[in-house]
Homo-oligomer: A and B are copies of this chain.
Amino acid sequence: MATITGVRVEDVRFPTSVTADGSDAMNKDADYSAAYVVLETDATDPGADPAGSGAPLGGYGLTFTIGRGNDIVAEAARQQAAALVGRDVDEIAADMGALYRDLTADSQLRWLGPEKGVVHLSLAAVLNAVWDLVARRAGKPLWRLLVDMTPEELVDVADLHYLSDALTREEALAILRERAGTRQERLDHLERTGYPVYTTSAGWLGYSDDKLRRLCQEAVDAGYQHVKLKVGANLAEDVRRLTIAREVLGPDRNLMIDANQVWDVPQAIEWMRALAPFDPLWIEEPTSPDDILGHAAVRRAVAPIGVATGEHCHNRVMFKQLMQAEAIDYCQLDTGRLASINEIVAVLLLAAKFGVPVCPHAGGVGLCEMVQHVSVLDYVAIGGDLTGRVTEYVDHLHEHFTDPCVVADRGAGTAYVLPALPGYSTQMYEESIDRFRFPQGTYWAGRTSVGDAPVRDTSEHVPH
Protein backbone atom coordinates (compact mmCIF):
# COMPACT_ATOMS: atom_id res chain seq x y z
CA MET A 1 0.00 0.00 0.00
CA ALA A 2 1.32 3.42 -0.95
CA THR A 3 -0.77 6.56 -0.54
CA ILE A 4 -0.08 9.99 -2.00
CA THR A 5 0.20 12.16 1.09
CA GLY A 6 1.14 15.52 -0.31
CA VAL A 7 1.87 17.66 -3.33
CA ARG A 8 4.55 20.30 -3.71
CA VAL A 9 4.83 22.48 -6.82
CA GLU A 10 7.93 24.60 -7.45
CA ASP A 11 8.57 27.53 -9.80
CA VAL A 12 12.19 26.97 -10.86
CA ARG A 13 13.88 29.39 -13.28
CA PHE A 14 17.40 29.30 -14.72
CA PRO A 15 18.88 32.61 -15.94
CA THR A 16 19.71 31.40 -19.46
CA SER A 17 18.93 34.76 -21.07
CA VAL A 18 22.34 36.04 -19.95
CA THR A 19 24.27 33.82 -22.34
CA ALA A 20 21.77 33.85 -25.26
CA ASP A 21 21.42 30.08 -24.90
CA GLY A 22 17.99 29.34 -26.29
CA SER A 23 17.68 32.52 -28.36
CA ASP A 24 15.73 32.35 -31.60
CA ALA A 25 13.78 34.65 -33.91
CA MET A 26 10.69 34.60 -31.67
CA ASN A 27 12.20 34.07 -28.22
CA LYS A 28 15.09 36.41 -27.60
CA ASP A 29 15.35 36.39 -23.81
CA ALA A 30 14.34 32.94 -22.62
CA ASP A 31 14.97 32.04 -18.98
CA TYR A 32 14.58 28.26 -19.13
CA SER A 33 12.15 27.28 -16.40
CA ALA A 34 10.26 24.34 -14.98
CA ALA A 35 6.93 24.12 -13.22
CA TYR A 36 8.01 21.18 -11.11
CA VAL A 37 5.59 18.83 -9.33
CA VAL A 38 6.57 16.58 -6.42
CA LEU A 39 4.16 13.88 -5.25
CA GLU A 40 4.94 12.63 -1.76
CA THR A 41 3.88 9.21 -0.46
CA ASP A 42 3.98 7.24 2.75
CA ALA A 43 5.89 4.37 1.11
CA THR A 44 9.58 3.70 0.61
CA ASP A 45 11.24 3.70 -2.79
CA PRO A 46 12.09 0.13 -3.91
CA GLY A 47 14.72 1.49 -6.30
CA ALA A 48 16.36 3.86 -3.85
CA ASP A 49 20.15 3.91 -3.77
CA PRO A 50 21.54 2.38 -1.64
CA ALA A 51 19.05 -0.47 -1.87
CA GLY A 52 16.99 -0.92 1.24
CA SER A 53 17.85 2.55 2.46
CA GLY A 54 14.22 3.26 3.18
CA ALA A 55 14.26 6.48 1.18
CA PRO A 56 10.72 7.78 0.62
CA LEU A 57 8.91 7.01 -2.62
CA GLY A 58 8.08 10.15 -4.59
CA GLY A 59 6.97 11.16 -8.06
CA TYR A 60 8.68 14.02 -9.90
CA GLY A 61 7.36 15.71 -13.02
CA LEU A 62 7.64 19.00 -14.85
CA THR A 63 6.67 21.09 -17.77
CA PHE A 64 8.97 23.55 -19.46
CA THR A 65 8.43 27.30 -19.88
CA ILE A 66 10.77 30.17 -20.69
CA GLY A 67 10.32 32.41 -17.66
CA ARG A 68 7.54 34.82 -16.79
CA GLY A 69 4.27 33.02 -16.21
CA ASN A 70 5.95 29.92 -14.83
CA ASP A 71 4.26 30.82 -11.54
CA ILE A 72 0.88 30.74 -13.29
CA VAL A 73 1.54 27.26 -14.65
CA ALA A 74 2.75 26.15 -11.21
CA GLU A 75 -0.47 27.40 -9.60
CA ALA A 76 -2.60 25.56 -12.18
CA ALA A 77 -0.61 22.38 -11.48
CA ARG A 78 -1.16 22.88 -7.76
CA GLN A 79 -4.93 22.99 -8.27
CA GLN A 80 -4.97 19.97 -10.58
CA ALA A 81 -2.65 17.85 -8.41
CA ALA A 82 -4.66 18.50 -5.23
CA ALA A 83 -7.09 15.79 -6.35
CA LEU A 84 -4.29 13.20 -6.07
CA VAL A 85 -3.80 13.52 -2.33
CA GLY A 86 -5.18 10.46 -0.57
CA ARG A 87 -5.14 8.31 -3.71
CA ASP A 88 -3.52 4.87 -3.68
CA VAL A 89 -0.53 4.54 -6.00
CA ASP A 90 -1.21 0.92 -6.98
CA GLU A 91 -4.84 1.65 -7.80
CA ILE A 92 -3.70 4.56 -9.97
CA ALA A 93 -1.06 2.41 -11.65
CA ALA A 94 -3.63 -0.26 -12.49
CA ASP A 95 -5.63 2.16 -14.67
CA MET A 96 -3.70 5.22 -15.79
CA GLY A 97 -6.36 5.84 -18.45
CA ALA A 98 -8.95 6.31 -15.71
CA LEU A 99 -6.69 8.69 -13.78
CA TYR A 100 -6.20 10.72 -16.95
CA ARG A 101 -9.96 10.95 -17.46
CA ASP A 102 -10.43 11.95 -13.80
CA LEU A 103 -7.91 14.76 -14.07
CA THR A 104 -9.30 16.05 -17.39
CA ALA A 105 -12.94 15.82 -16.26
CA ASP A 106 -12.91 19.13 -14.38
CA SER A 107 -15.09 21.11 -16.77
CA GLN A 108 -14.39 24.41 -15.00
CA LEU A 109 -10.64 24.12 -15.61
CA ARG A 110 -11.26 22.64 -19.07
CA TRP A 111 -12.98 25.89 -20.06
CA LEU A 112 -9.60 27.66 -19.80
CA GLY A 113 -8.28 25.62 -22.74
CA PRO A 114 -9.79 23.32 -23.61
CA GLU A 115 -6.74 21.04 -23.75
CA LYS A 116 -4.34 23.86 -24.50
CA GLY A 117 -2.31 26.63 -22.95
CA VAL A 118 -1.59 26.90 -19.24
CA VAL A 119 -4.03 24.23 -18.02
CA HIS A 120 -2.64 21.68 -20.48
CA LEU A 121 1.00 22.50 -19.70
CA SER A 122 0.25 22.13 -16.00
CA LEU A 123 -1.63 18.90 -16.58
CA ALA A 124 1.46 17.57 -18.38
CA ALA A 125 3.58 18.40 -15.34
CA VAL A 126 1.16 16.64 -12.98
CA LEU A 127 0.77 13.56 -15.14
CA ASN A 128 4.51 13.37 -15.77
CA ALA A 129 4.95 13.21 -11.99
CA VAL A 130 2.34 10.45 -11.73
CA TRP A 131 4.02 8.41 -14.49
CA ASP A 132 7.37 8.88 -12.75
CA LEU A 133 5.83 7.73 -9.47
CA VAL A 134 4.21 4.68 -11.03
CA ALA A 135 7.45 3.63 -12.73
CA ARG A 136 9.44 4.10 -9.50
CA ARG A 137 6.87 2.05 -7.60
CA ALA A 138 7.36 -0.69 -10.21
CA GLY A 139 11.14 -0.34 -9.94
CA LYS A 140 11.48 0.25 -13.70
CA PRO A 141 12.58 3.04 -16.02
CA LEU A 142 9.39 4.41 -17.54
CA TRP A 143 10.27 3.17 -21.04
CA ARG A 144 10.55 -0.35 -19.60
CA LEU A 145 7.21 -0.09 -17.80
CA LEU A 146 5.60 0.93 -21.10
CA VAL A 147 7.20 -1.64 -23.38
CA ASP A 148 6.26 -4.32 -20.85
CA MET A 149 2.57 -3.43 -21.33
CA THR A 150 0.38 -5.54 -23.59
CA PRO A 151 -1.20 -3.91 -26.65
CA GLU A 152 -4.50 -3.80 -24.75
CA GLU A 153 -2.91 -2.12 -21.73
CA LEU A 154 -1.17 0.47 -23.91
CA VAL A 155 -4.31 1.35 -25.85
CA ASP A 156 -6.24 1.69 -22.58
CA VAL A 157 -3.67 4.25 -21.48
CA ALA A 158 -4.04 6.30 -24.68
CA ASP A 159 -6.47 9.21 -24.98
CA LEU A 160 -8.24 8.44 -28.25
CA HIS A 161 -11.07 10.94 -27.72
CA TYR A 162 -11.77 13.05 -30.86
CA LEU A 163 -9.54 10.79 -32.99
CA SER A 164 -11.93 8.12 -34.28
CA ASP A 165 -12.32 9.70 -37.73
CA ALA A 166 -8.58 9.11 -38.20
CA LEU A 167 -7.76 6.24 -35.85
CA THR A 168 -10.17 3.83 -34.20
CA ARG A 169 -9.38 1.79 -31.11
CA GLU A 170 -9.34 -1.32 -33.31
CA GLU A 171 -6.80 0.21 -35.70
CA ALA A 172 -4.66 1.25 -32.74
CA LEU A 173 -4.75 -2.27 -31.34
CA ALA A 174 -3.86 -3.72 -34.72
CA ILE A 175 -0.76 -1.49 -34.94
CA LEU A 176 0.37 -2.47 -31.44
CA ARG A 177 -0.27 -6.17 -32.02
CA GLU A 178 1.63 -6.16 -35.29
CA ARG A 179 4.72 -4.83 -33.44
CA ALA A 180 4.31 -6.96 -30.31
CA GLY A 181 6.07 -10.09 -31.50
CA THR A 182 9.26 -8.28 -32.52
CA ARG A 183 9.64 -5.86 -29.62
CA GLN A 184 12.60 -7.69 -28.14
CA GLU A 185 14.78 -7.48 -31.25
CA ARG A 186 14.26 -3.75 -31.53
CA LEU A 187 14.97 -3.34 -27.85
CA ASP A 188 18.18 -5.36 -28.21
CA HIS A 189 19.23 -3.02 -31.00
CA LEU A 190 18.62 0.08 -28.87
CA GLU A 191 20.43 -1.44 -25.89
CA ARG A 192 23.47 -1.78 -28.17
CA THR A 193 23.34 1.51 -30.10
CA GLY A 194 21.14 3.92 -28.14
CA TYR A 195 18.52 6.13 -29.81
CA PRO A 196 19.91 8.50 -32.48
CA VAL A 197 20.02 12.22 -31.64
CA TYR A 198 20.75 15.53 -33.26
CA THR A 199 22.05 18.67 -31.61
CA THR A 200 20.72 22.22 -31.47
CA SER A 201 23.46 23.49 -29.15
CA ALA A 202 25.39 24.95 -32.08
CA GLY A 203 22.84 27.17 -33.68
CA TRP A 204 21.17 29.64 -31.34
CA LEU A 205 20.53 32.96 -33.01
CA GLY A 206 22.35 35.03 -30.40
CA TYR A 207 25.72 33.34 -31.00
CA SER A 208 28.53 35.04 -32.93
CA ASP A 209 29.78 33.66 -36.25
CA ASP A 210 32.99 32.46 -34.60
CA LYS A 211 31.10 30.66 -31.87
CA LEU A 212 28.74 29.16 -34.49
CA ARG A 213 31.70 27.85 -36.53
CA ARG A 214 33.43 26.44 -33.46
CA LEU A 215 30.27 24.72 -32.17
CA CYS A 216 29.48 23.21 -35.59
CA GLN A 217 33.03 21.84 -35.71
CA GLU A 218 32.65 20.43 -32.20
CA ALA A 219 29.40 18.74 -33.25
CA VAL A 220 31.13 17.16 -36.24
CA ASP A 221 34.05 16.06 -34.06
CA ALA A 222 31.58 14.56 -31.56
CA GLY A 223 30.09 12.38 -34.31
CA TYR A 224 26.82 14.18 -35.00
CA GLN A 225 25.23 13.53 -38.39
CA HIS A 226 22.55 16.22 -37.84
CA VAL A 227 22.90 19.83 -36.71
CA LYS A 228 20.09 22.38 -36.36
CA LEU A 229 20.29 26.17 -36.72
CA LYS A 230 17.83 28.92 -35.89
CA VAL A 231 16.77 31.21 -38.78
CA GLY A 232 14.11 33.79 -39.56
CA ALA A 233 15.22 37.08 -38.05
CA ASN A 234 17.20 38.41 -41.04
CA LEU A 235 17.61 36.78 -44.43
CA ALA A 236 21.13 38.07 -45.13
CA GLU A 237 22.30 36.83 -41.74
CA ASP A 238 20.65 33.47 -42.30
CA VAL A 239 22.51 33.10 -45.59
CA ARG A 240 25.80 33.99 -43.90
CA ARG A 241 25.25 31.60 -40.98
CA LEU A 242 24.07 28.71 -43.18
CA THR A 243 27.11 29.23 -45.41
CA ILE A 244 29.35 28.78 -42.37
CA ALA A 245 27.42 25.75 -41.14
CA ARG A 246 27.37 24.03 -44.50
CA GLU A 247 31.12 24.64 -44.93
CA VAL A 248 31.83 22.92 -41.64
CA LEU A 249 29.29 20.11 -42.04
CA GLY A 250 30.19 19.31 -45.64
CA PRO A 251 27.60 18.18 -48.18
CA ASP A 252 26.59 14.87 -46.57
CA ARG A 253 25.71 15.68 -42.99
CA ASN A 254 22.16 16.89 -42.33
CA LEU A 255 21.44 20.53 -41.65
CA MET A 256 18.04 21.43 -40.21
CA ILE A 257 16.68 24.95 -39.77
CA ASP A 258 14.10 26.35 -37.36
CA ALA A 259 12.14 29.60 -37.82
CA ASN A 260 10.22 29.46 -34.51
CA GLN A 261 6.92 30.66 -36.04
CA VAL A 262 8.01 34.08 -37.27
CA TRP A 263 6.71 33.92 -40.84
CA ASP A 264 3.34 34.31 -42.51
CA VAL A 265 2.72 31.52 -45.03
CA PRO A 266 3.69 33.42 -48.22
CA GLN A 267 6.76 34.81 -46.45
CA ALA A 268 7.81 31.31 -45.35
CA ILE A 269 7.64 30.08 -48.91
CA GLU A 270 9.63 33.04 -50.25
CA TRP A 271 12.29 32.88 -47.51
CA MET A 272 12.73 29.14 -48.01
CA ARG A 273 13.36 29.65 -51.73
CA ALA A 274 16.37 31.71 -50.69
CA LEU A 275 17.61 29.10 -48.21
CA ALA A 276 16.98 26.04 -50.39
CA PRO A 277 20.53 26.07 -51.85
CA PHE A 278 21.84 25.06 -48.41
CA ASP A 279 19.90 21.80 -48.78
CA PRO A 280 18.17 21.75 -45.39
CA LEU A 281 16.62 18.45 -44.31
CA TRP A 282 13.68 20.29 -42.79
CA ILE A 283 12.27 23.70 -42.02
CA GLU A 284 10.84 23.68 -38.51
CA GLU A 285 7.93 25.87 -37.30
CA PRO A 286 7.74 27.98 -40.48
CA THR A 287 4.57 29.73 -39.27
CA SER A 288 1.91 29.76 -36.53
CA PRO A 289 1.77 26.39 -34.77
CA ASP A 290 -2.02 26.56 -35.11
CA ASP A 291 -1.89 26.83 -38.89
CA ILE A 292 -2.47 23.30 -40.14
CA LEU A 293 -3.50 24.39 -43.63
CA GLY A 294 -0.64 26.89 -43.69
CA HIS A 295 1.90 24.16 -42.93
CA ALA A 296 0.35 22.06 -45.70
CA ALA A 297 0.73 24.95 -48.16
CA VAL A 298 4.34 25.52 -47.15
CA ARG A 299 5.08 21.81 -47.46
CA ARG A 300 3.70 21.65 -51.00
CA ALA A 301 5.74 24.70 -51.96
CA VAL A 302 9.13 23.80 -50.46
CA ALA A 303 9.34 20.07 -51.24
CA PRO A 304 11.66 18.17 -51.22
CA ILE A 305 12.66 20.15 -48.11
CA GLY A 306 10.66 18.64 -45.26
CA VAL A 307 8.31 20.50 -42.92
CA ALA A 308 8.59 19.80 -39.20
CA THR A 309 6.53 21.07 -36.29
CA GLY A 310 5.14 20.04 -32.94
CA GLU A 311 6.86 21.67 -29.98
CA HIS A 312 3.93 24.10 -29.76
CA CYS A 313 1.32 21.71 -31.15
CA HIS A 314 -0.96 21.73 -28.17
CA ASN A 315 -2.82 18.45 -28.36
CA ARG A 316 -3.56 15.23 -30.25
CA VAL A 317 -6.46 16.82 -32.21
CA MET A 318 -4.00 19.23 -33.82
CA PHE A 319 -1.53 16.43 -34.62
CA LYS A 320 -4.38 14.39 -36.12
CA GLN A 321 -5.14 17.21 -38.53
CA LEU A 322 -1.48 17.90 -39.37
CA MET A 323 -1.36 14.28 -40.53
CA GLN A 324 -4.77 14.24 -42.24
CA ALA A 325 -3.81 17.38 -44.18
CA GLU A 326 -0.38 15.94 -45.11
CA ALA A 327 1.10 19.07 -43.57
CA ILE A 328 4.24 17.63 -41.94
CA ASP A 329 7.15 15.34 -42.75
CA TYR A 330 8.28 15.14 -39.11
CA CYS A 331 6.22 15.05 -35.92
CA GLN A 332 8.03 16.92 -33.14
CA LEU A 333 5.81 16.16 -30.18
CA ASP A 334 6.73 17.77 -26.86
CA THR A 335 6.69 15.91 -23.54
CA GLY A 336 5.90 19.06 -21.57
CA ARG A 337 3.08 20.29 -23.84
CA LEU A 338 1.08 17.12 -24.52
CA ALA A 339 -0.69 15.69 -21.48
CA SER A 340 2.00 13.14 -20.73
CA ILE A 341 2.19 9.50 -21.82
CA ASN A 342 -1.59 9.18 -22.24
CA GLU A 343 -1.73 11.76 -25.00
CA ILE A 344 1.75 10.93 -26.35
CA VAL A 345 0.80 7.29 -26.99
CA ALA A 346 -2.20 8.54 -28.98
CA VAL A 347 0.05 10.76 -31.13
CA LEU A 348 2.61 7.97 -31.62
CA LEU A 349 -0.23 5.72 -32.81
CA LEU A 350 -1.50 8.40 -35.22
CA ALA A 351 2.03 8.86 -36.56
CA ALA A 352 2.41 5.11 -37.04
CA LYS A 353 -0.87 4.94 -38.94
CA PHE A 354 -0.04 7.92 -41.18
CA GLY A 355 3.61 6.93 -41.65
CA VAL A 356 5.01 10.17 -40.22
CA PRO A 357 8.39 9.85 -38.44
CA VAL A 358 8.34 11.10 -34.84
CA CYS A 359 11.36 13.26 -33.97
CA PRO A 360 10.49 14.66 -30.54
CA HIS A 361 11.34 18.18 -29.49
CA ALA A 362 13.74 18.46 -26.57
CA GLY A 363 16.14 20.88 -24.93
CA GLY A 364 14.74 23.32 -22.41
CA VAL A 365 14.71 21.90 -18.90
CA GLY A 366 14.22 18.17 -18.50
CA LEU A 367 12.80 17.59 -21.97
CA CYS A 368 15.84 15.54 -23.04
CA GLU A 369 15.45 13.44 -19.89
CA MET A 370 11.85 12.65 -20.91
CA VAL A 371 12.09 12.21 -24.69
CA GLN A 372 14.53 9.35 -24.45
CA HIS A 373 11.79 7.26 -22.79
CA VAL A 374 9.26 8.27 -25.45
CA SER A 375 11.55 7.49 -28.37
CA VAL A 376 12.36 4.05 -26.99
CA LEU A 377 8.64 3.35 -26.57
CA ASP A 378 7.97 4.51 -30.11
CA TYR A 379 10.60 2.34 -31.77
CA VAL A 380 10.06 -0.77 -29.67
CA ALA A 381 6.25 -0.89 -29.46
CA ILE A 382 4.55 1.56 -31.82
CA GLY A 383 6.38 3.09 -34.78
CA GLY A 384 8.82 0.19 -35.08
CA ASP A 385 11.19 2.03 -37.39
CA LEU A 386 14.30 4.20 -37.08
CA THR A 387 14.33 5.39 -40.69
CA GLY A 388 14.19 9.19 -40.79
CA ARG A 389 14.02 9.34 -36.98
CA VAL A 390 16.32 11.47 -34.88
CA THR A 391 15.51 12.95 -31.48
CA GLU A 392 16.62 16.37 -30.33
CA TYR A 393 19.42 16.73 -27.81
CA VAL A 394 20.69 19.95 -26.26
CA ASP A 395 23.49 19.98 -23.71
CA HIS A 396 21.88 22.34 -21.21
CA LEU A 397 20.99 22.08 -17.54
CA HIS A 398 21.32 18.30 -17.20
CA GLU A 399 23.47 18.74 -14.09
CA HIS A 400 20.34 19.65 -12.13
CA PHE A 401 18.83 16.17 -12.59
CA THR A 402 19.56 13.16 -10.40
CA ASP A 403 19.45 10.79 -13.41
CA PRO A 404 20.58 12.98 -16.32
CA CYS A 405 20.33 11.74 -19.87
CA VAL A 406 23.57 10.46 -21.41
CA VAL A 407 24.53 10.58 -25.07
CA ALA A 408 27.34 8.52 -26.55
CA ASP A 409 28.51 7.27 -29.93
CA ARG A 410 28.58 3.49 -29.85
CA GLY A 411 29.40 3.15 -33.53
CA ALA A 412 26.04 4.14 -35.04
CA GLY A 413 26.26 7.89 -34.41
CA THR A 414 25.59 9.93 -31.30
CA ALA A 415 22.66 8.48 -29.40
CA TYR A 416 20.74 8.57 -26.12
CA VAL A 417 21.93 5.71 -23.88
CA LEU A 418 18.85 3.95 -22.49
CA PRO A 419 18.08 5.14 -18.94
CA ALA A 420 18.59 2.42 -16.33
CA LEU A 421 17.18 3.89 -13.12
CA PRO A 422 13.47 3.63 -12.19
CA GLY A 423 11.17 6.48 -13.18
CA TYR A 424 10.91 9.15 -15.89
CA SER A 425 14.40 10.68 -15.18
CA THR A 426 12.60 13.84 -14.04
CA GLN A 427 13.83 14.30 -10.48
CA MET A 428 15.84 17.46 -9.81
CA TYR A 429 18.35 17.97 -7.02
CA GLU A 430 16.84 19.82 -4.06
CA GLU A 431 20.01 21.95 -4.04
CA SER A 432 19.18 23.16 -7.56
CA ILE A 433 15.62 23.98 -6.55
CA ASP A 434 16.79 25.88 -3.48
CA ARG A 435 19.12 27.92 -5.63
CA PHE A 436 16.86 28.63 -8.59
CA ARG A 437 13.39 28.68 -6.98
CA PHE A 438 11.75 31.91 -8.17
CA PRO A 439 11.91 34.47 -6.66
CA GLN A 440 13.12 33.24 -3.25
CA GLY A 441 16.02 30.98 -4.30
CA THR A 442 19.56 32.00 -3.40
CA TYR A 443 20.34 32.90 -7.02
CA TRP A 444 17.27 35.12 -7.47
CA ALA A 445 16.87 36.57 -3.99
CA GLY A 446 19.31 39.40 -4.62
CA ARG A 447 17.21 40.72 -7.51
CA THR A 448 14.57 43.28 -6.69
CA SER A 449 12.17 43.13 -9.63
CA VAL A 450 10.42 40.06 -10.99
CA GLY A 451 10.50 41.33 -14.55
CA ASP A 452 14.16 42.31 -14.61
CA ALA A 453 16.53 40.65 -17.03
CA PRO A 454 19.26 38.95 -15.03
CA VAL A 455 22.51 40.89 -14.97
CA ARG A 456 24.89 38.58 -13.13
CA ASP A 457 27.26 36.35 -15.07
CA THR A 458 25.90 32.81 -14.78
CA SER A 459 28.49 30.95 -16.81
CA GLU A 460 29.42 28.93 -13.76
CA HIS A 461 25.84 27.70 -13.37
CA VAL A 462 24.70 27.22 -16.93
CA PRO A 463 26.72 25.05 -19.26
CA HIS A 464 27.00 25.99 -22.95
Contacts and interface: CB of A to CB of B under 8 A. Distances in A.
Contacts of A315: 290
Contacts of A115: 288, 290
Shortest 3 CB-CB contacts between residues of A and residues of B: A117-B117, A118-B118, A165-B265
Interface stretch (A36-44, A62-70, A383-391): A62-70
Contacts of A320: 291
Contacts of A287: 162
A102 interface: no
26 contacts: A26-B107, A66-B107, A68-B79, A68-B109, A69-B109, A69-B111, A69-B112, A72-B79, A73-B112, A112-B121, A113-B117, A114-B312, A115-B290, A116-B314, A118-B119, A162-B287, A162-B288, A164-B266, A164-B267, A165-B265, A165-B266, A290-B315, A290-B318, A290-B321, A291-B317, A293-B325
B27 A66 contact: no
Contact of A65 (B68, B108, B294, B325): B108
Interface string A231-269: 000000000000000000000000000000100111100
Contacts of A324: 293
A273 to B, nearest CB: 16
A297 B324 CA distance: 12
A153 interface: no
Contacts of A75: 71-72, 75
Interface of A: 26-31, 65-69, 71-73, 75-76, 79, 82, 106-121, 161-165, 261, 264-267, 287-294, 297, 312, 314-315, 317-318, 320-321, 324-325, 451
A268 to B, nearest CB: 9
A159 to B, nearest CB: 12
A118 B112 contact: yes
Number of copies of this kind of chain in the complex: 2
Contacts of A30: 107-108, 111
Given A27-B111, A69-B109, A317-B291, A264 B116 contact: no
B29 A107 contact: yes
Nearest to A165: B265
A71 B26 CA distance: 28
Nearest to A67: B108
Contacts of A312: 114
A190 to B, nearest CB: 32
B66 A165 contact: no
A117 B108 CA distance: 13
Contacts of A109: 68-69
A265 B168 CA distance: 12
Nearest to A261: B114
A290 B312 CA distance: 14
Contacts of A116: 113, 116-117, 290, 314
A72 B72 contact: yes
Contacts of A68: 79, 106, 108-109
Nearest to A297: B165
A29 B108 CA distance: 8
Given A116-B117, A118-B119, A293-B324, 18 more contacts: A27-B110, A66-B111, A67-B111, A69-B79, A82-B451, A114-B289, A114-B312, A117-B117, A117-B120, A162-B264, A162-B291, A164-B265, A164-B267, A290-B314, A290-B317, A290-B318, A290-B321, A293-B325
A159 B298 CA distance: 22
A331 to B, nearest CB: 16
